[in-house]
């Protein structure tokens, strides 16, 4: 059982591994143990077992766009960032948006990576959760670009 489906009843029906480095698990999933409400889903995972999304999303992300998905932090249960080697960019995403950052990118007023994705009250109590970046922050390294992708994913997530 993955971190994504914990709390749900689920049954692994099959696994298909792809050369691109991910696998699609066909799973029967139901909420609150109600087998009558079960649905069959095709969920994609990294080779480490981290949840990516549905199989079509994973195929587009990995095969078509060349992005290697990973989690923003070890505590996360869903991949929301990834590196595209051919573009030398880090991408952040959610179900609503995706954006890539490379060396030389500078954060501008209104960019989503200037927002934390949390309420001001929550950030006041949990400042360590604030991944937002200041206007003017520039990616001089790929690690800086990764910080931007993490901030973006947090804001749109």
Which three-class secondary structure state does DSSP give residue 150? helix
Does 15 have pLDDT greater than 70?
yes
Q: Which of 107, 104, 93, 25 lies closest to 60, judged by CA?
A: 93
Angle ∠(140,146,148) on CA atoms, nearest 5: 80
**pLDDT (tens digit, 9 = 90+) per residue, 78-133?**
999 999 999 999 999 998 899 999 999 999 999 999 988 888 899 999 998 899 99
User: For residues 133 and 74, is the Cβ–Cβ distance under 8 A?
Assistant: no
**Pick from 75, 28, 77, 26: nearest CA to 49:** 77
Q: Which residues contact 6 (CB under 8 A, 6 or more apart)?
A: none
């Amino acid at each position: 059982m993955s971190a994504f489906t914990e709390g749900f009843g689920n049954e692994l029906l099959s696994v298909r591994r792809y050369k691109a480095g991910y696998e699609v698990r066909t799973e029967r999933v139901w909420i609150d143990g109600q087998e009558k409400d079960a649905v069959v889903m095709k969920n994609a995972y990294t080779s480490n077992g981290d949840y990516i999304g549905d199989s079509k999303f994973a195929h587009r992300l990995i095969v078509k766009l060349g992005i290697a998905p990973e989690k923003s932090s070890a505590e996360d249960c869903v991949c929301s960032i990834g590196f595209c080697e051919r573009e030398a960019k880090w991408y952040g995403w959610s179900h609503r948006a995706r954006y890539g950052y490379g060396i030389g990118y500078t954060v501008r007023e209104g960019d989503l990576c200037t927002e934390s994705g949390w309420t001001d009250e929550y950030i006041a109590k949990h400042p360590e959760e604030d991944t937002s970046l200041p206007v003017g922050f520039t990616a001089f390294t790929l690690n800086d670009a990764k910080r931007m992708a993490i901030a973006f994913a947090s804001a749109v997530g």
